[in-house]
Chains A and B, each alone.
Chain A
Amino acid sequence: MKRNWPVVALAGALALAGCSSDLPADTGTGGSSGPAKANAKSEFFDQTEFARQLRFRTAKATGLDGQDGTAGPWEQALEPELVDTAKYAKPGGGYHLCFSNASVDNPWRQVGFKTMQEEVKLHPEITKFTVLDAEAKDDKQISDIQSLASQGCSALVVSPNTTATLTPAVEAACATGVPVIVFDRGVKTSCPVTFIHPIGGFAFGADGAEFLKEKVAPGGKVLALRILPGVDVLEQRWAAADEVFSGSQVKVVGVEFTDGDAAKTKSIVNEYIQREGKIDGVWMDAGATAVAAVEAFQDAGVAIPPFVGEDQQDFLRIWADEGMTAVAPTYPTYQWRTPVIAALRVLGGRQVPREWVLPQPKVTQDTLKDFIKQDMPPLHYAMCGCEQMPGYPAPWK
């Protein structure tokens, strides 16, 4: 019968098409999602690490060589425990730096990668810089790392796509004797010579939640917007916020996943405005769709409540233009400079922190004007530490 087979084949084709689309990578981590967890807090909330990260927010960051006054935040460290690197020393320069990148599939990673490339240009002793893009696929990154092991790298930098899955590949790379530097998301092994990251997700989530706790009246309704379930760094952000909210009198009326999609975000916020009558605060685990959320209030013709965003230019501008009450926690893109600096320290036989915790500032009402750059693209992350680099701003446009 003529009509039957196209219909059945369509069902098959739809299934095929469904297989072809990957989940969008989350902002700031580039990890692919794991399965959704029924009880996120019990799995991702870690009281010890939570307390540690909150303490780091007010700890003093120091330059590694006593250059407190001149070191940029990407050269500073919080409570560094230094390790010796003499065994990796290679005097004379002519370094071949290799980088296994999880992906470049979101604006955070694009700003970061540009920043890293420009940092490499500052160091003529790096004569070759090889980059492999894993396109947010664990299996590709595993083969990328294996490939780099045979390319004569002086040092290997890795930004893991996921934590556990990349661990064996990183261990194999360490075994070759090449110094391995991991940043952004970590791995479950101590073999890298240093693991570089800003304070972390708990601090990020708490910064936003504490702001809303302060700005939203008791009994006020807060909507939490999240990108994806099951991604550890994002889950930590929500776990921290959930902890803060549960100790406050604000009422979280909804926790929704947006898939990082602006249209979906706008629809969700519009629905909640209609359902609840009034929303008194919005918390987000990443700022990629913050502007869409703000626009939902604008388009509904209601006042914009206190907002948690991130340091992308479009959010900072609308914050200033609309006179919003807002805060922007950051997961600074300047962290992409630090692995290059670390590699050169290691190859020069100088100490680096075992865990290199970078400062993680937030944009506040007081500092907002310092971070708005009208000439930069709307999705540009302000905390890039790149304004003073030669060539700024062209590569980031």
Chain B
Amino acid sequence: MTRLRLADGTAPVLVVLVVLLAALAFAGPAYAEPSGYLALLKRAAPLVVLAVGQYFVVVSGGFDLSVGSLVTAEVVIAARLVDGDDANTSWVIALLLGFGLLVGLVNGLVTTKLLVPSFIVTLGMLLVLDGAVFLWTGGAPRGALSPSFRVAGRGGADVPLLGQVPWSVVVLLVVVGAAVWFMRGPTGRLLVAVGDNEKAVRLAGGRVDRLRLLAFVLSALLATVAAILLAGFAGVSAQVGQGLEFRAITAVVLGGVVLGGGRGSVVAAAAGAVTLEALFSLLNLLGVSGALESAVQGVIIIAAVAYAARGAALRRLFPRRRPTAKPSTVDRI
């Protein structure tokens, strides 16, 4: 009989998240009601979407450092092309998705075909996009977003008992749901396998390059979704995406996904993003300086690198036994 159950590594981050949410209830009066948590999710939604995209890349053994710059580029492009006119909203969103697709393809193709390591490719893309945005804007964005463009990141629907449920929370749930569904399917499992043992997948006939490419494309498309949410939430800014790649990676790491690939769950990555946002909110409510946020992210990444190195050493000492039991029929998410 098939049982639904959390994948390895998901439970710890969920426990931390629950603890943080409870702590928020004590620290701030607003968190006594659903609207406080919905506001938190609204702020966290872009990061969750980015973390899901980063998850696809990390779990398949890569890194995507270009998502922050891509978000900024998308917002700046949107402002310039929409220029405050609602009539331009639809085609500009389509164009943004196309641009995201293009960036993802370039990242993926250079990584897989030219065999350049993904963090170098995407670091390069980060710099390319930053430079292109600077060249195009002269340093400050021009134009304006339209109300209909901003509704996804800023507006919401009234729901009894909960109050206003932000559209970005709806988007968040849809993205996470779709990602869970994807990862439970054959392609998702292959993606994890690529990160775990690329050679084995090749020898088994899997198309490693296509899977890697798909991961980068998904990451870029989700960065585009995050850009639309952020543009709606905050309006036009030439700094909107700065540092988001670090936050996305920190969130993924916080969710227990192993850097280097092969292990981790998408729900944990999403929960990691919410946890990170909740942590920053709690620190803020306790009066801790916002400057600590970067330090917190740094500590988390260092801890993850140390953990990964230690884990690898342990696996060398105690190689896995050959399976002696019948394969498990348990489904994991």
Q: Which residues of chain A have a CB within 8 Å of any CB of chain B?
A: 1-4, 6-11, 13-14, 16-18, 20-21, 24-25, 36, 103-107, 109-110, 135, 256-257, 259-263, 265-268, 270-271, 273-275, 277, 289, 291-292, 295, 299-301, 314, 377-379
CB of A209, distance to nearest CB on chain B (Å): 22
Q: Are B242 and A14 in contact (CB under 8 A)?
A: no
Q: Are A109 and B230 in contact (CB under 8 A)?
A: no
Q: Are A106 and B239 in contact (CB under 8 A)?
A: no
Interface residues in B57-96 by Cβ distance below 8 A to A read 61, 63, 65, 84
Q: Mark B27-38, 1 if CB is under 8 A from A, else 0.
A: 111110000100
Q: List, sorted by A's number, 27 A–B pairs whose CB atoms are closer than 8 Å.
A: A3-B262, A4-B309, A7-B259, A8-B305, A10-B259, A10-B305, A11-B302, A13-B65, A17-B123, A18-B246, A21-B242, A24-B242, A104-B139, A106-B139, A135-B139, A256-B290, A257-B290, A257-B291, A261-B237, A261-B239, A262-B240, A265-B234, A271-B281, A271-B284, A275-B28, A275-B284, A289-B237
- A301 to B238 Cα, complex, angstroms: 27
Q: Are A14 and B65 in contact (CB under 8 A)?
A: yes
B residues less than 8 Å from A274 (CB atoms): 28-31, 36, 39, 285
CB of B156, distance to nearest CB on chain A (Å): 9
Selected interface stretch from B97-105, B141-149, B185-193, B322-330: B141-149
Q: Are A6 and B290 in contact (CB under 8 A)?
A: no
Most chain B beta carbons < 10 A, residue from A24, A274, A275: A274
Specify the chain A residue showing the minimal Cβ separation from B195.
A3
Option from A10, A270, A377 in Cβ contact (under 8 Å) with B142:
A377
Option from A1, A3, A259, A292 in Cβ contact (under 8 Å) with B234:
A292
Query: 4 other contacts beyond A1-B312, A21-B243, A105-B238, with CB at 8 A cut-off?
Result: A261-B242, A270-B43, A273-B30, A274-B36
Q: Are B126 and A17 in contact (CB under 8 A)?
A: yes
Option from B46, B123, B154, B258 in Cβ contact (under 8 Å) with A16:
B123
Q: Are B65 and A295 in contact (CB under 8 A)?
A: no
Q: Are A14 and B290 in contact (CB under 8 A)?
A: no
Q: Are B240 and A13 in contact (CB under 8 A)?
A: no
Specify the chain B residue showing the minimal Cβ separation from A271.
B284
- Given known pairs A261-B239, A262-B237, A271-B284, the reply for A14 and B301 (CB within 8 Å) is yes
Q: Are A277 and B239 in contact (CB under 8 A)?
A: no
Q: Are A20 and B127 in contact (CB under 8 A)?
A: yes
- Given known pairs A17-B123, A266-B234, the reply for A6 and B259 (CB within 8 Å) is yes
CB of A273, distance to nearest CB on chain B (Å): 7
Interface residues in B229-259 by Cβ distance below 8 A to A read 230, 233-240, 242-243, 245-246, 249, 258-259
- A377 to B142 Cα, complex, angstroms: 7
Q: Are A14 and B246 in contact (CB under 8 A)?
A: yes
Interface size class of B (residues with CB under 8 A): 35 or more
Specify the chain A residue showing the minimal Cβ separation from B280.
A267
A residues less than 8 Å from B206 (CB atoms): none
- A1 to B313 Cα, complex, angstroms: 9
Q: Are B301 and A11 in contact (CB under 8 A)?
A: yes
- Indicate if B316 sits at the interface (CB-CB under 8 A): yes
CB of A257, distance to nearest CB on chain B (Å): 7
Q: Are A262 and B260 in contact (CB under 8 A)?
A: no
Most chain B beta carbons < 10 A, residue from A106, A270, A271, A295: A271
- A109 to B243 Cα, complex, angstroms: 24
Q: Are B284 and A7 in contact (CB under 8 A)?
A: no
Q: Are A13 and B123 in contact (CB under 8 A)?
A: yes
A residues less than 8 Å from B141 (CB atoms): 379
Q: Are A9 and B309 in contact (CB under 8 A)?
A: no
Option from B28, B39, B65, B305 in Cβ contact (under 8 Å) with A7:
B305
CB of A3, distance to nearest CB on chain B (Å): 4
- Indicate if B174 sits at the interface (CB-CB under 8 A): no
Specify the chain A residue showing the minimal Cβ separation from B285.
A275
B residues less than 8 Å from A277 (CB atoms): 29-30
Option from A9, A17, A103, A107 in Cβ contact (under 8 Å) with B245:
A17
Q: Are B144 and A378 in contact (CB under 8 A)?
A: yes
B residues less than 8 Å from A25 (CB atoms): 139
A residues less than 8 Å from B39 (CB atoms): 270, 274, 300
- A378 to B150 Cα, complex, angstroms: 15
- A291 to B123 Cα, complex, angstroms: 32
B residues less than 8 Å from A13 (CB atoms): 63, 65, 119-120, 123
Specify the chain B residue showing the minimal Cβ separation from A21.
B242
A residues less than 8 Å from B43 (CB atoms): 267, 270
- A259 to B294 Cα, complex, angstroms: 13
Q: Are A107 and B308 in contact (CB under 8 A)?
A: no
CB of A348, distance to nearest CB on chain B (Å): 33
Q: Are B144 and A377 in contact (CB under 8 A)?
A: yes
Q: Are A10 and B239 in contact (CB under 8 A)?
A: no
A residues less than 8 Å from B209 (CB atoms): none
**10 tightest A-B CB contacts, nearest first:** A105-B139, A274-B30, A263-B234, A3-B260, A262-B234, A13-B119, A262-B237, A107-B140, A7-B259, A271-B284
Most chain A beta carbons < 10 A, residue from B117, B233, B249, B261: B233
- Indicate if B205 sits at the interface (CB-CB under 8 A): no
CB of B202, distance to nearest CB on chain A (Å): 14
